[in-house]
Amino acid sequence: MKINVIKKRASNSTTALMGLMLFVLMIIVLRQNQVFFNSRPHNSFIISTPHAISRHNYNHEVEKSKSIINCSRSHYSYDICSINGPTIFDPFKSTFYDMGSTNNNETNIIVEKIKPYPRKWENFTMGQIKEFTLTKGPIGPNCLIDHKAQALVFSLGGYTGNFFHDINDGFIPLFITVNSLFPNQDFILVISKLEDWWVHKYKDLLQSFSKHPIIDIDKEINVTHCFPKVTIGLMSHGFMNIDPKLTPTPKTLIDFHKFLATTYGTVQDQGQGQSQLQLQLQLQPQSQHRPRLVLASRGDSIGRLILNQDELRLIAEHIGFEVILFEPSKTTSLHESFGLIHSSHAMIGVHGAALTHALFLRPSSIFIQIVPIGAEGVSDICFGKLAREMKLVYDEYKIEVEESSLMEKYGKGDNLVLKNPKALQEKGWSQEIMDIYLREQNINLDLNRFRMYLEKAYQNAKIFMAING
């Protein structure tokens, strides 16, 4: 009996000891997990999940980085990524490396890829945009040029060359991004698909954003650049829009207009020779008694020409306007364009890229958009919204079927092209449909009907002129 008692007591003691050891082991594991979770950054805005690559030995002694790669991919129009710490760019691989990466106690390489152009929904366009890689893990190449200012990287590989897209896909998103992420901060513009003529045309505006020389990232094939930080991509609020609720300090298109006025509001020496616009203004100096009307002409463009433009001009002058014919091109000076339109009282034209110059009008100026058949939706998205945001006195002249040159080709039978454009466009704004309404179509205005719009515009322009000069 005694022997059995001793064995039972021994068994109970062993069980208690094992339980105690298991309890201690659980505490150790929990403390290690707590250290791990506490060491993770809590302010990261990573939305996408970076994929991991097995890491091998990299015998390079570098101080461990506290920065991480951040990517926001929740937006319809754009992605934006950053490395919040020292980075080196390898142009040969189009890759930004986190300079603080080390192999100590690391098992994964973080990789993110991004195409920095704010038309994410448009697959064809995005297919033309160079992709950049951001990586944390492998050691990057040696640095040849060390910059003190951070980098802002974006691409011009979409619709560059069209003034509407230069502004809508370029400078408005740049304005939003700078005011959202870099207020009062120094940065360098690093641009892909850069063209010399584009830099020349917009050099003053670019210098208003950054005092540093632009880095043409596609030409720096053998040159590595180091930056204290990099942001890749531009933020967009939609077509011709700046939403004050989405910027830290509320901004609107009127603020963008003021920014343009700061850049182009001073007279610049344009060098030898005079442009056609300068000569026209000299031959027809502004009257002190007549409001000035800018008639935006499509010149030699394909489609949406006003076939009776000369008659339209005569009627506008007869009503009382001083009319200036405005035919902008790639080489038209933006200082001249701004000076003309900002000093004018009214602007009219057919839907097209030239109407982007309405951003140069002063708020409360008069603006009439002539809307072709089948272009009602795109006209409102692009310039109707712009006019409302700019606080312009806006009117739309929607042409009748009889005013469209499409009548000659599609006017017979039950063709939807003229009878029901919306039904034809329900499946999408394809290249074929766009060509019909924007390239095949010209306009022969009903001048009796349009005269009423001009007379109303004249009365409003006289009021604006009396108040604002």
Domain-embedded: residue 372? yes
- The domain boundary, picked from 251, 286, 319, lies at 251
Q: What is the distance of C-alpha 129 from the center of its chain?
A: 14
The reply to whether 373 and 245 lie within a common domain is: no
Q: Which structural domain, as residue segments, surrounds residue 116?
A: 51-251
Q: Rounded mean pLDDT of 295-311?
A: 92
Could you tell me if 295 and 422 lie in one domain? yes
The reported pLDDT for the residue numbered 6 is: 34
- Sequence-distant (6+) residues with CB within 8 A of 1 are none
Report the C-alpha gap between 355 and 368 in whole angstroms: 10
Q: pLDDT, tens digit, for every residue of 204-252?
A: 999 999 999 999 999 888 899 999 999 999 999 999 999 999 999 999 9
The dihedral through the CA atoms of 389, 394, 400, 403 has a sign that is: negative
Question: Sign of torsion, CA 88 89 90 95?
Answer: positive
Q: What does the pLDDT average to over 288-303? A: 89
In a domain, residue 370? The reply is yes
Decide: 346 and 316 in contact? Cβ < 8 Å.
no
Q: Are residues 246 and 287 in the same domain?
A: no
In the chain, pLDDT over 70 holds for what percent of residues? Answer: 79
Cα 285 to its chain centre, rounded Å, is 37
Query: Which among 334, 309, 335, 336 has a CA at the least distance from the CA of 323?
Result: 309
Do residues 83 and 208 both lie within one domain? yes
Residue 17 lies in a domain: no
Are 238 and 381 in the same domain?
Answer: no
pLDDT the model gives residue 331 = 86
370 half-sphere exposure, CB direction, 13 A CA radius: 31
Q: How many CB atoms lie within 10 A of CB 427?
A: 8
Chain mean position to CA 82: 17
**Residue given tokens 């060390």 in the structure block:** 146
Do 134 and 216 have their domain in common? yes
Q: Which residue has the higher pLDDT, 164 or 10?
A: 164
* 9, part of any domain: no
Tokens of 438: 């924007």
Starting at the edge strand that comes first in sequence, how are the strands of the sheet with 230-232 ordered? 69-72, 80-83, 230-232, 150-155, 187-192, 215-216
Whether residues 236 and 341 fall in one domain = no
CATH code of the domain containing 438? 3.40.50
Q: Which residues of 74-109 are buried (b: 16+ CB within 10 A; e: fewer)?
A: eeebbbbbbbbbbbbbbbeeebbbbbbbbbeeeeeb
Domain count, the chain: 2
Range from 1-10, 15-24, 364-373, 393-402 carrying the lowest mean pLDDT: 1-10
Same domain for 314 and 218?
no
- What's the rounded mean pLDDT across residues 160-176? 95
pLDDT at 371 over 90: yes
Beta bridge partners of 72: 80
Q: How confident is the model at residue 277 (pLDDT cuts 50, 70, 90)?
A: low
Return the residue matching tokens 């300079």: 99
Average pLDDT, the chain: 83
Residue 29 lies in a domain: no
Could you report the per-residue pLDDT of 44-81, keeping only the tens digit for each? 222 232 333 332 332 333 333 345 899 999 999 999 99
- Same structural domain, 245 and 303: no
Could you count the other beta carbons within 10 Å of the beta carbon of residue 289? 8
In a domain, 423, yes or no: yes
Among 307-316, 423-432, 444-453, the minimum mean pLDDT is found in 423-432
Report residue 154 as tokens: 């974006």
Residues 64 and 174 grouped into a single domain: yes
Are both 354 and 322 inside the same structural domain? yes
Residue 12 lies in a domain: no
Whether 242 and 321 map to the same domain: the answer is: no
Entry field: residues in the chain: 469
Q: Rg for the chain (alpha carbons), in Å?
A: 31
Nearest to 264 by CA among 167, 144, 130: 167
pTM of the model: 0.81
CA–CA distance from 178 to each of 70, 185, 423, 443, 455 (Å)?
Answer: 17, 9, 41, 41, 42
Q: Are strands 87-90 and 225-227 parallel, antiparallel or unpaired?
A: antiparallel
Output the six-digit token pair for 395: 């009117």
